[in-house]
Amino acid sequence: MEQATTQEALRKRLDELRQLLNEYAYQYYVLDKPTVADSEYDRLYHELETIEADYPEWINPESPTQRVGDQLLDGFEKVRHAEAMYSLGNAFSEEEVDAFIDRVFKQAESDQIQFMCECKIDGLAVALTYEEGRFIRGATRGDGIVGEDITTNLRTIKSLPLQLRQPITAEIRGEVYMPKKSFLALNEERDALGLVPFANPRNAAAGGLRQIDPKAVAKRNLNLFLYSGVYTESFSPVSQANLFEALEAAGLRTNSLRRLCSTKEEVRDFLRTISDQRHDLSYEIDGIVIKVNDVSTQQALGFTVKAPRWAIAYKFPAQVETTTVREVEWTVGRTGVVTPTAIMDPIALAGTTVQRASLHNIDFIQALDLRLNDQITVHKAGDIIPEVTSVLVDKRTEDSVPLDIPSHCPECKAELIRAEGEVALRCVNPICPAQKLAQLSHFVSRNAMNIMGLGVKVIEQLLTKGFIKDPADLYYLTEEDFLQLANTKEKSAKKYYTAIQGSKTNSLERLIFGLGIRHVGAKAAQLLAQSFETMANLQLASNEQIERIDGIGEMISQSVVSYFGQTESLELIKRLIEADVNMIYQGITLAEQADTDSYWAGKTVVLTGSMETYGRSEAKVMLETLGAKVTGSVSKKTDILVAGEAAGSKLNKAQDLGITVMNEEEFLRSIEKSEKSE
């Protein structure tokens, strides 16, 4: 009786937590008006995770913990839209907008028509299907008739409600986009890895939504605005203004930067106002959409073969300026990538004065045939990053000078390398001074050694004074050393020293990530630490041993082996050991995970098709509880395929590879037997 009472209380608390967290997420991500501190949200979220871990049968798809799953997608199923998703006709001048308005008045035979002017978000059009307020499916626009099912990836967008505040059944449409801040961070990361940066946020958002791994989608930090829908009995606004009210009442995110206009003059004023403001927005827009406000008038005007007669998109003219390149600056990043930047005569571009523009890499420079003193055209890629777009070769003068591509690091003079298949020049000298500040900042960061309070300015002073040269030096600092830094009192010195000493006990995965080994992110560091358990084992690991880890490929294995093949790296590890920094993984190792009586312990399992007894997420939780690893795709590493109805291509592949296949009945018997043996 007491246990039942405890479970009832926990179930009640779980429902309360879901409601609270969903409400806080709505206030933060939809309304942009947070009402609770991040720490409080994190505390409640952790409490919810704990309850769901103890009672996985209570998990439902609307839980805040279920936005990002572990399962990789096999591909994207086709989805037919409830109604065609039309494209819009374009207007490239105010005169063309005036002509559109005149045409609407004439065709509607009325002089009392209002127009809703909305920002044209530069992203990826999507259609969201809700049934009785529950998010069922999300799809891309595709060809307007048939799109691709990207439901799993859309669930990673935190401003997309999984359960509406009203029981609406309808297809709601809008635009997924990448905020400018996220776009800049993503391109910085790609530059560091020697990858070609995305040209604009729209491409990054579109590419993100078509990732096979939902966790990779979540890292893109995408967002969305909703602005239309297929009207139904439970969702039938009478105007575009009324539509926005209905969307907001249901808990859906809309863009408040819109205006209801009654005249050409009012429409023109809105176009000009937004054109002046658009560079200050946190997201990219490429125009203004002008729609007839009244729904009955929209229906009367109808559609052409390609577009509605009641709406048009005014496109902003692209701003391109001409200037002269005076020099090319080569800078070295944390991972050793040497990046070229054009230094130009200053120009006014998209609201700012610009004197520097990205040249990306040598291939880009050679394709342009860029020389010093050339006249060039520049624009802001995605209205954010100044980028050279062309060289005006016909205006080239005799004083133009071919560029010298560096063969040695501009800072440490070590020879630069260009790996096969990469576009980046790279300095591989681990003690290159230009890389030190960024490397040390990474080492102390939250996801690495988490040395609180030791910011860039403090590290910069320590480097300048010669107190540190590499991460190991941090552990030999004294409180007296910190007192020699500018604006550092005894309290701060003690705080820095204590934080450094405290980080010595971190688990091995934090140290591996903190070392900044190329291509090794936090997840890869975790897998490496869990698999090899000690730093000594990892140092001796071969490419083949590393690549046996599910989730680790050739690129990471080569990078790890190369890193530990360098004398400087081995010396760094030696000094860290001498400073008593922990070199052992402190989590549950793979060996411990497999050491149970469960039949499933240590086995790699793939679920496919549908089962009557359990949903896929429930089956996954059960298997992981019994020590199995559940993955999304069949490979030679797969031990068992659990095949429900309509298993499809995964079943065929498993049979071809000779992998054990279980039907639902066999699966249930095995689960029951495993649970009894525990």
How many domains is the chain partitioned into structurally?
A: 5
Q: For residue 9, what are the β-bridge partners?
A: none
Catalytic residue among 120, 158, 291, 603: 120
Q: What is the pLDDT of residues 368-384, one digit of tens each?
A: 999 999 999 998 765 56
Whether 424 contacts 418, CB under 8 Å? yes
Q: Which of 382, 417, 452 is the last residue of a domain?
A: 417
Residue 566 lies in a domain: yes
The reply to whether 219 belongs to the active site is: no
What CA–CA distance (Å, rounded) separates 374 from 403?
A: 11
What's the CATH code of the domain at 29? 1.10.287.610
Q: Which range (78-87, 328-337, 429-438, 494-503) has the least confidence?
A: 429-438
660-662 and 640-643 strand pairing: parallel
In a domain, 95, yes or no: yes
Helix (H) or strand (E) holding 495: helix 490-502
Can you tell me which residue has the tokens 């729904």? Answer: 295
61 and 119 both lie in a single domain: no
- pLDDT band at residue 619, thresholds of 50, 70 and 90? confident
Residues 572 and 606 in one domain: no
Whether 587 is covered by a domain: the verdict is no
CA distance 482 to 488: 7
Rounded to two decimals, what is the model's pTM?
A: 0.51
Claim to verify: residue 177 and residue 299 sit in the same structural domain: yes
- pLDDT of residue 671 exceeding 80: no
Same domain, 182 and 301: yes
Mean pLDDT of the residues in the chain: 85
For the ranges 68-72, 150-154, 478-482, the maximum mean pLDDT occurs at 478-482
User: Of 270, 290, 315, which closes a domain?
Assistant: 315
DSSP code string of 250-261: TT------EEEE
Q: What is the C-alpha separation between 380 and 377, in angstroms, rounded?
A: 11
CATH number at residue 259: 3.30.470.30
Give the pLDDT confidence score for residue 175 in this predicted structure: 95
* C-alpha count within 13 angstroms, C-beta hemisphere, residue 628: 26
Beta bridge partners of 660: 640
Are residues 100 and 226 located together in one domain of the fold? yes
Count Cβ neighbours within 10 Å for each residue of 330-357 and write b for 16 or more, e otherwise.
Answer: bebbbbbbbbbbbebeebebeeeebeeb
**One domain, residues 327 and 311:** no
Q: 357 and 451: one domain?
A: no
Identify whether 27 is part of a domain.
yes
- What pLDDT, in 10s, does the model give residues 421-465? 778 888 888 678 778 888 898 999 888 999 988 988 899 899 989
Could you tell me the CA-to-CA distances from 335 to 78, 194, 376, 501, 633 in Å, in that order?
A: 41, 9, 30, 26, 32
Please report, for the domain that includes residue 342, its CATH number. 2.40.50.140
77 domain residue, yes or no: no
Do 228 and 368 sit in the same domain of this protein?
no
- In one-letter notation, the amino acid at residue 552 is I
Domain shared by 649 and 672, yes or no: yes
State yes or no: pLDDT of 678 exceeds 50: no
Which residue range(s) make up the domain with 380?
Answer: 321-417
Tell which of 417, 445, 467 closes a domain.
417
For residue 538, the domain's CATH number is 1.10.150.20
DSSP notation for 100-141: HHHHHHHHHT-S---EEEEEEE-SEEEEEEEETTEEEEEEE-
In whole angstroms, give the CA distance from residue 110 to residue 483. Answer: 78
In a domain, 138, yes or no: yes
DSSP string of 151-163, one letter each residue: HHHHTT-TTS-SB
Q: Are residues 293 and 344 in the same domain?
A: no
**Site of tokens 């063309």:** 96
The 10s digit of each residue's pLDDT in 575-602 is 999 999 999 998 766 555 554 556 787 7
pLDDT band for position 68 (50/70/90)? low
In a domain, 590, yes or no: no
Give whole-number Cα distances, 477 to 412, 415, 508, in Å. 25, 32, 22
**Together in a domain, 311 and 340:** no
User: Is the domain of 292 the same as that of 200?
Assistant: yes
Q: In the sheet where 223-230 sits, what is the strand order?
A: 134-140, 124-131, 170-177, 223-230
Residue 378 falls within a domain, yes or no? Answer: yes
